[in-house]
């Protein structure tokens, strides 16, 4: 799609435009204000433009010890720029023409930026990489000094705002390599600049200025470039787009819950798909197509790599260290399940995965060892889904008769609101039943088949759901195999509880709401503490073992 990526003449022109003569130290990302009003018949009525420094003010400063900082980005953080130039005398000049800058932001300021030029930029100077051509630059800087990298107005990205996905891919791959802790960015010292460049020639070129000093080159990253995306024929790209659009148009059962003009999505993105030159570019377009559905089961992968989306990260309402501190030594035969008990004989089982069949064997062992407890805490707060049949096998230990726990409807017609009849999912009893009270811990990271697990346990006698509402995402998707190793999922059912009440987008509400501020989990686990309070409220002389 970017014409300059293919032209050798364009590379030569950029190289000739570089001025090798020594210049005053500059770090400038320039934006042309003329672009803002070009072609406008009502320029004076336009709102005043702003630079990125004004859009992203910050009071963040480095801390000791450094603190990992979360970030987000999206279409609103993509800006069109007229050019970029970083210069350190004769040692290094990195320069590009027009392109897109995507900014990764913390609530208190910007943390990183990615520049993707429309045509390859160039590297000149005395350091390794001179004479090579830049296809992207991942940048780190002090949050208050974004203005040192920006000199001009931040123009809207317009129809290119979907391209933030490729910037996120770069950030996720590179953020741990520069001013980071636990894989997340930390605030660097003032005067710090990192330019982490992907080049057309292949090597990754990593340049760094620390605290306003001289520019350094780090050769350790030379062979760690991101793989170059495979090419795709534009006709094949358009056909893949059509296949995915039609699949959703005919099978997606939740259009009635989404305020999305599906035909308008096709009109906007099909022409873009038909110009795609790489499978990664096409994957980003397909992800943008389904993004307004805000469905966590509608995703796109390229060669097995998930294309970034706009959905917020899941939040966990738990502090597992605080839980362990209240229990006897934990038994953990494998990742995804562990169990223990309190000193006064209340059991605890955490199931954080629904992956392989041996999970059920370990769960059965846990119940055997905890069969003499007076009550059980079953913690699902770290579970985001998997194989629902495994959940059925585990939940079957808490019922004595077949129990309907969920219902669903599929599409049954061409219209988006043509849905078929309700069908049921039924939980079957298995082996002996744990009969003492059970408190199930849930929260805003519980989704998909883990929500099915939640519904099962919610129908079990003596079970109480405690915590916060779940995500509300259960789509039973099928996977489409598209061109060039691209896969995409199409959610197919409208999921509901046993009383046919859909929970998509709302989540499953707890019986007992425990929703403190996130800071409450810093040194404690209020949800777990409330669960123990409920179990201990039963008089001691009325308590009986779970296995009877």
Per residue in 95-149, pLDDT (tens digit) is 999 999 999 999 999 999 999 999 999 999 999 999 999 999 999 999 998 877 7
* pLDDT surpasses 80 at 469: yes
Structure confidence by residue, pLDDT tens digits, 472-490: 999 999 999 999 999 999 9
Structure confidence by residue, pLDDT tens digits, 287-299: 999 999 999 999 9
CB–CB of 124/93 below 8 Å?
yes
Question: Within a domain: residue 252?
Answer: yes
Last residue of one domain, picked from the residues 221, 252, 285: 221
Q: For residues 312-326, give the mean pLDDT.
A: 95
427/27: higher pLDDT? 427
Q: For residues 270-276, give the mean pLDDT.
A: 97
415 and 530 housed in the same domain:
yes
* pLDDT surpasses 70 at 48: no
458 and 336 housed in the same domain:
yes
The size of the chain, in residues, is 548
Question: Within a domain: residue 131?
Answer: yes
What pTM value is reported for the model?
0.86
Structure tokens at 223: 């062979």
Question: Within a domain: residue 227?
Answer: no
Q: In what order do the strands lie in the sheet with 438-442?
A: 331-334, 337-341, 347-351, 376-379, 438-442, 463-467, 512-513
**pLDDT, position 198:** 98
414 and 523 housed in the same domain:
yes
Question: Within a domain: residue 369?
Answer: yes
* pLDDT surpasses 60 at 24: no
* pLDDT surpasses 70 at 45: no
Question: Within a domain: residue 258?
Answer: yes
**pLDDT, position 44:** 39
Last residue of one domain, picked from the residues 200, 221, 242: 221
290 and 379 housed in the same domain:
no
Question: Within a domain: residue 498?
Answer: no
298 and 376 housed in the same domain:
no
Q: For residues 62-83, give the mean pLDDT.
A: 93
Question: Within a domain: residue 514?
Answer: yes
**pLDDT, position 120:** 97
- pLDDT, mean over the chain: 90
Q: What is the DSSP letter of 210?
A: -
480 φ/ψ angles, rounded to the nearest 5 degrees: -100, 135
CB–CB of 4/120 below 8 Å?
yes
Residue 299 CB-half CA count within 13 A: 15
183 and 261 housed in the same domain:
no
Structure tokens at 488: 């995409």
Last residue of one domain, picked from the residues 166, 198, 221: 221
Region of 462 (left: φ > 0; alpha: ψ -120 to 50; beta: rest) is left
210 and 70 housed in the same domain:
yes
Q: For residues 336-354, give the mean pLDDT.
A: 98
211 and 283 housed in the same domain:
no
Number of domains in the chain: 3
Q: Which residues contact 82 (CB under 8 A, 6 or more apart)?
A: 30, 31, 32, 35, 97, 98, 152
* pLDDT surpasses 50 at 536: yes
256 and 329 housed in the same domain:
no
Q: Output the DSSP codes for 398-435.
A: G-SS-EEEEEEEEB-SSSTT-B---EEEEEPP-SSPP-
**pLDDT, position 5:** 41
* pLDDT surpasses 70 at 506: yes
By three-state DSSP, how is residue 223 classified?
Answer: coil
Instruction: Give dist(CA 234, CA 241) in Å, integer.
Output: 10
- Tokens 């803002």 locate to 36
Q: Which CATH number does the domain housing residue 300 bear?
A: 3.30.750
Q: Which residues contact 453 (CB under 8 A, 6 or more apart)?
A: 351, 354, 380, 383, 388, 391, 394, 395
Structure confidence by residue, pLDDT tens digits, 140-169: 999 998 877 756 677 999 999 999 999 999
Q: Output the DSSP codes for 493-534.
A: EEEEETTS-B-TTT-PPPSEE----GGGGSS--HHHHHHHHH
pLDDT category at 428 given cuts 50, 70, 90 is: very high
**pLDDT, position 168:** 96
200 and 264 housed in the same domain:
no
293 and 356 housed in the same domain:
no
By three-state DSSP, how is residue 366 classified?
Answer: helix
Question: Within a domain: residue 547?
Answer: no
How many beta carbons lie within 10 A of that of residue 21, not counting itself?
Answer: 5
| Percentage of the chain lying above the pLDDT 90 cut | 85
* pLDDT surpasses 70 at 452: yes
Of 66-70, 287-291, 329-333, which range is least confident?
Answer: 66-70
Compute and round to an integer the Cα radius of gyration of the chain: 27
Task: Residue 412: give the domain boundaries.
Answer: 320-472+507-542
* pLDDT surpasses 80 at 451: yes
Structure confidence by residue, pLDDT tens digits, 380-426: 999 999 999 999 999 999 999 999 999 999 999 999 999 999 999 99
Q: Which CATH number does the domain housing residue 330 bear?
A: 3.90.226.10
């Amino acid at each position: 799609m970017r014409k300059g990526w293919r032209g050798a003449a364009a590379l030569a022109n950029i190289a000739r435009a570089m001025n090798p003569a020594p210049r005053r130290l500059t770090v400038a990302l320039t934006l042309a204000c003329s672009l803002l009003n070009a072609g406008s018949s009502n320029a004076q009525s336009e709102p005043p433009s702003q630079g990125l420094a004004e859009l992203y003010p910050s009071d963040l400063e480095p801390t000791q010890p450094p603190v990992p900082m979360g970030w987000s980005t999206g279409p609103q953080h993509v800006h069109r720029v007229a050019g970029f130039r970083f210069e350190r005398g004769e040692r290094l000049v990195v320069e590009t023409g027009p392109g897109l800058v995507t900014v990764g932001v913390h609530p208190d300021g910007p943390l990183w930026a990615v520049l993707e030029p429309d045509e390859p930029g160039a590297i000149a100077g005395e350091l390794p990489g001179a004479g090579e051509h830049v296809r992207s630059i991942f940048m780190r800087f002090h949050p208050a000094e974004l203005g040192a990298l920006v000199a001009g107005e931040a123009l809207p990205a317009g129809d290119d705002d979907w391209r933030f996905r490729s910037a996120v891919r770069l950030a996720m791959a590179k953020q741990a390599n520069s001013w980071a802790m636990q894989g997340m960015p930390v605030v660097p010292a003032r005067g710090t600049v990192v330019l982490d460049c992907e080049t057309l020639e292949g090597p990754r070129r990593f340049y760094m200025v620390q605290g306003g000093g001289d520019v350094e080159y780090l050769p350790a990253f030379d062979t760690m470039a991101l793989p170059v995306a495979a090419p795709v024929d534009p006709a094949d790209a358009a056909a893949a787009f059509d296949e995915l659009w039609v699949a959703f148009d005919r099978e997606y059962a939740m259009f009635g819950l989404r305020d999305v003009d599906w035909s308008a999505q096709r009109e906007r993105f099909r022409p873009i798909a038909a110009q795609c030159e790489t499978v990664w570019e096409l994957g980003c377009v397909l992800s943008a197509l389904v993004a307004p559905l805000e469905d966590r089961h509608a995703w796109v992968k390229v060669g097995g790599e998930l294309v970034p989306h706009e959905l917020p990260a899941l939040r966990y309402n738990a502090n597992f260290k605080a839980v362990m501190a209240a229990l006897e030594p934990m038994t953990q035969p494998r990742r995804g399940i562990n169990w223990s008990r309190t000193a006064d004989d209340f059991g605890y089982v955490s199931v954080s995965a629904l992956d392989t069949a041996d999970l059920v064997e370990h769960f059965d062992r846990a119940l055997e060892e905890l069969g003499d407890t007076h009550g059980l805490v079953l913690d699902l707060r770290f579970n985001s889904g998997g194989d629902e049949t495994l959940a059925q096998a585990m939940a079957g230990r808490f019922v004595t008769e077949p129990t309907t726990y969920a219902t669903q409807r599929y599409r049954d017609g061409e219209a988006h609101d043509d849905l078929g009849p309700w069908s049921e999912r039924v939980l079957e009893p298995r082996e002996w039943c744990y009969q003492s009270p059970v408190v199930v811990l849930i929260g805003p990271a519980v989704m998909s088949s883990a929500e099915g697990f939640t519904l099962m346990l919610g129908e079990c006698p003596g079970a109480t759901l405690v915590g916060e509402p779940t995500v509300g995402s259960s789509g039973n998707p099928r996977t489409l195999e598209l061109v060039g190793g691209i896969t995409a999922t199409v959610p197919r059912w409208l999921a509901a509880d046993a009383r046919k009440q859909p929970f998509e987008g709302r989540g499953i509400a707890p019986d007992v709401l425990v929703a403190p501020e996130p800071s409450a989990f810093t040194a404690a686990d209020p949800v777990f503490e409330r669960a123990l309070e409920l179990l201990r409220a039963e008089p001691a002389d009325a308590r009986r073992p779970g296995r009877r």
